[in-house]
Amino acid sequence: MRTPVFELHIRPMFRATDKAHMGFAFDLWDYNDVVANADAVLARLQSDMPPTATGGPWPEEWITLFQRWKDGARKRLDLGTAAFTLQQGTTKTTITATGTFPAAGVVGWLQLESETATSKTYVLHFEAPDAPAGGRHAPGLRPEGELPFHRRPVRLRP
């Protein structure tokens, strides 16, 4: 099962209305604020929040996802840096990011962050691989000094 990621799975569940209503206490769109208040957020979600007058409580599976994120790695994306080029055509615009991934196994993508009538803002996100169960490292990643993994063919029998 995929590890929940704050920017992909948790942050989108908090609406702008939720953010505004909780602004007096902390920012529901800020990773550090949500981590610091995760137990309180979960307790409210499990009781009566958000109130019916503003859309009603979350579905049970959303609460379960939030709890799994809170009790797990509290994973988040890293912001990447790169050199960007823009090629504007008559029917499309192509944005290219050129740089180096921070480690083997990391994936990256440009994501539309906001849009107005005159501009679009993109963010370069990097996502590190999850560590497989049993404490082994993801293929291609190793702690300093550890020898690389050796792969050999395996035959499967029917």
Q: Are residues 59 and 105 in the same domain?
A: no
Tens of pLDDT along 64-88? 999 999 999 999 999 998 888 888 8
Number of domains in the chain: 2
Instruction: Supply the pTM of this predicted model.
Output: 0.74
How high is the pLDDT of residue 151?
32
Residue 154 has pLDDT above 70, yes or no: no
Q: Residue 32 belongs to what domain range?
A: 6-71
Residue 135 lies in a domain: no
Cα 113 to Cα 52, 59, 105, 122, 123: the distances in Å are 29, 26, 24, 5, 6
CA distance to 13, 19, 44, 125, per residue, from 47 (Å): 17, 18, 5, 34
The length of the chain in residues reads: 158
Lowest mean pLDDT among 9-18, 40-49, 136-145: 136-145
- Cβ atoms < 10 Å from Cβ of 19: 15
Q: How far apart are CA 8 and CA 26, in angstroms?
A: 20
Q: In this structure, is residue 48 part of a structural domain? A: yes
